[in-house]
Structure 1
Amino acid sequence: MSGRVGDLSPRQAEALAQFRENLQDVLPSLPSQDDYFLLKWLRARCFDLPKSEAMLRKHLEVRKHMDADNIIAWEAPEVIRKYMSGGMCGYDREGSPIWYDIIGPLDAKGLLFSASKQDLLKNKFRDCEVLRRECEQQSKKLGKKIEMVMMVYDCEGLGLKHLWKPAVDTYGELLSMFEENYPESLKRLFIVKANWKEVLQKYIDPDQIPVEYGGTLTDPDGDPKCSSKINYGGDVPQHYYVRDQLAQQYEHTVVVNRGSSHQVEYEILFPGCVLRWQFRSEGADVGFGVYLKTKIGERQRAGEMTEVYPNQRYNSHMVPEDGSLTCSTPGIYVLRFDNTYSYLHSKKVSYSVEVLLPDAASAQQIQNLGDKLSEVALNHSP
């Protein structure tokens, strides 16, 4: 059995029912609660319930981190909007959206010198959400379930410049993010090289294919590339590069030895406070994550604490990183710079951190706490 709606074995149907039961606490926060959506996660892990549940719960953490409910309104930095190639254009013969990735003109090095890797990842997550929501709209429009997309990879012009290691690593992260957060969503993948026009027209009507790719579709102004829908990238002008332009002054500088990490602790007294950080490394990337301590008064390993901001490697030697976290729970938060994966090189990291009060109500809470402490001090003074 395929494991899809209407084609389930008794064992698969039982697994689906149990999966839904196991997820009762998070069902309202899912992008969709129907069987089609839940079965994607089950198929992705061969109907292994614990693995499917872990995968979906991890996805919910990522959605929260990316602010997925509002990400469509998020505007990427100008350099990404102008030079990150790709776009959605047309539908296949069954109504599935088509996404084009234009690899050849993409200036990966220029993008990584001009934008943070996290903004690049967030931009790709936004693209995925655009496609997911387009599938929902197509389902309503056509009266049938559309849950997968078609992708066209234009690899004309692919060369050595695309094999720069930081770019390859980042692209690998983009693909992993798609696989881990949008499973069972890729219907077909076409790689444009030879004999591709005939293959595309086998699945897509010509009026849904740009003239550039052998069809008849153009922009309203006659543009054969449909540039209003598909960004074709191009070399990033060096005035966008930020690596050598920022004269940021950091409050602290540390050397994180090879195979080790550096932890910085901040006490958060009230829920809703915001931790904000900026950091830069020298010579190579560095890992970074935020954790909530489970034991007060002693140093804990990362695995012993609660991860509240995912630990990832950042190309902060190319573009300084900045970020923030709204702390939902009071406690001791640990900002951890991670170099445990490097057995050869120490990393010099410069950073600044500040704690922001969320609103006037919290400010009043702190004032009240200060008043109480003053009162206690007066009552116990000689």
Structure 2
Amino acid sequence: MPSNLRNNFLSSRAPRETLKALFFGLIAVFRDNCAKMALDLNESEFEALELFKDTLGEYIKDELDSYQRHDANLLRWLRARDLNVDKAEKMLKASMIWRKNNDVDKILSWRKPQFFSNGFNFMAPGVDKDGCILCIVPFGKWDLRGAVEAGHRADVVRFANQILEQGFQFMKKESNDKKILNQFIIIFDWTGFSLNQILSRETVDTMMECLRLFEANYPETLKEAYVVNAPAIFEIVYNLLKPFVSARTLAKLKVYSTNPEQWRGALLKNIDPFELPSQYGGSNLTCKNYNLTQGLERPPRAHDLSKGSFQSATISAGDKLVIDQFVDLPGTHLTCNFTTRDYDIGFQILYNDELLFACQRADSHRHMQKGLVVCNKIGTYKFCFDNSFSKFRSKNISFAIEQDVPEKLDGSAGKIDQLG
């Protein structure tokens, strides 16, 4: 550097302030770029997010918890309102008021009426490849009309809200500084759906109310929705409910008919087989219906058994292979792994001839099937490999079953069988 410039540089305080400003400016740019990359934002979304935070000001700190005020969750409200900051602010604040007025923070302790104990089941078997929650609803078997006509319309809406909030709280629990989970995948199985359900105006109104609740208070939490085994009348239901669902949500909906070869492949593109129940093309043999009383904890899962423990057998067409396992200590874990060559097979687990679990056709020729039973009772547990549906083909099977007694029983073993 020339001496005159060097002297001017050293004698002037301005360059020092300039360098300081430049340094912090570079840090800000680096931080902003990191934020954009972490959230996969385009320039418009990033600018809207910064303006949204400025507009909310102290409200963020005073009214939202650390999960709710994370950029990823603030962004949900913006995207739901097409990056319109004013509309997003109104939507967010209206939802916070709704939460307070309806005691949503306490809804997980709400006990649904006995009417819902049977027939309103769903499963939460696992997560997709990004860690987002997977929920399976056998919607075709839900008797919404029966519930509404029995005087439980408000309870139906509250039950739907409880499921949504349980999922929201689970995502909150599983999130950390490095990764925020705020979306879920849902599979609606329409097997058994009756036209009778939509012939009731009040039932349709109840469905609409549930959709409005979801759109207004859990925006952009849906990652993907799959409708499988859709009957011909699905189009009627779709057209009835379409006006109450945003275009962004509708774009995430994928509809499949009753051909499992179509939708099973689609599910497995984004979901690992072990996260998906066997009856939906995965390898989780013993996925039980979710019980809200179990809270946010996941049930135990089956592990891989050693290759040396496997046995081989051939099951003739129309025949079954039954393996008995006698359990003499409550709390024992029974783990089963099996695979078949070329073709699928049926599978059941029974306790003293009481059916605990069944899969009509497991894709064991595609994925190693894995199941776990936590046995709460002493007695004989039967593992049945069922080829009775096949009239001509025998099946070659390789299987292993293992008994394991945990060192410390957690006290839950004496309550119910856990299938996971």
Q: Taking structure 1 as the reference length, what is the TM-score of the superposition?
A: 0.54
2:277 maps to: 210
Counterpart Cα distance in 1 of 2:271 and 2:45 = 33
- Confirm or deny: 8 A CA contact 1:77 1:115 kept in the other structure: no
Q: Structure 1 regions of 5+ residues with no counterpart?
A: 220-224, 231-382
- Higher RCO (CA-CA < 8 Å; seq separation 6+): 1
2:181 alignment partner AA = I
Which has the higher Rg, Structure 1 or Structure 2? Answer: 2
Aligned AA (2:54): E
**2:218 paired residue among 172, 182, 198:** 182
- Measured at CA, do residues 125 and 4 of structure 1 come closer, stay the same or move farther in structure 2, by a change above 3 Å? farther
* Whole-Å separation in 2 of the counterparts to 1:24 and 1:118: 36
Partners of 2:121 and 2:289 within 8 A in 1: no
Aligned pairs, how many?
225
Q: 1:91 to 1:7 in 2, by over 3 A?
A: closer
The one-letter code sitting in structure 2 at the alignment partner of 1:106 is: W
How far apart are the structure 2 equivalents of 1:22 and 1:111? 43
SS in 1 for 2:140: coil
Tell me what 2:55 maps to.
22
- Give the direction of change, closer, same or farther, for the CA distance of 1:76–1:4 in structure 2 (3 Å limit): farther
Deviation at 1:185? 1.0
Q: Equivalences for 1:339-358 in 2 at 5 Å? A: none
Alignment match, 1:160: 195
Residues 218, 226 of structure 1: 8 Å contact kept: no
In 2, the alpha carbon distance for the partners of 1:216 and 1:115 equals 40
Q: 2 CA distance for matches of 1:87 and 1:199?
A: 19
| Rounded Cα–Cα distance in structure 2 between residues aligned with 1:167 and 1:20 | 40
The one-letter code of the counterpart of 1:144 is: K
Query: In structure 2, do the counterparts of structure 1 residues 107 and 9 end up closer, same or farther at CA, with 3 Å as the change threshold?
Result: closer
- Aligned residue number for residue 127 of structure 1: 163
Give the match for residue 72 of structure 2: 36
- 1:251-307 deviations in whole A, cap 9, x for unaligned? xxxxxxxxxxxxxxxxxxxxxxxxxxxxxxxxxxxxxxxxxxxxxxxxxxxxxxxxx
Alpha carbons of 1:216 and 1:115: their partners in 2 closer, same or farther (altered >3 Å)? Answer: farther
Matching residue within 274, 289, 296 for 1:227? 289
Q: Which residue of 1 aligns with 2:137?
A: 101
Equivalent residue letter for 1:29: E
Q: Secondary structure at the match of 2:118?
A: helix
TM-score by length of 2: 0.49
Secondary structure at the aligned position of 1:19 is classed as helix
- Give the corresponding residue for 1:13: 46
Distance 1:173 1:192, change over 3 A: same
Distance of aligned partners of 1:215 and 1:9 in 2 relative to their CA distance in 1, 3 Å threshold: closer
Distance 1:49 1:163, change over 3 A: same
Structure 1 vs Structure 2 CA RMSD: 2.8
**Structure 1 partner of 2:268:** 201
Name the residue aligned to 1:375.
none
How far apart are 1:59 and its partner, in Å?
0.6
CA deviations on 1:176-234 (whole Å, 9 max, x unpaired) are 21111111111111111222222212221221111222222133xxxxx623459xxxx
User: Which structure is higher in helix share?
Assistant: 2
* Secondary structure in 2 matching 1:89: strand
Contact 1:208–1:215 (8 Å) recurs in 2: yes
Aligned to 1:139: 175
Q: Which runs of 5+ in 2 are unaligned?
A: 1-35, 230-258, 293-420
Report sequence identity in percent: 29
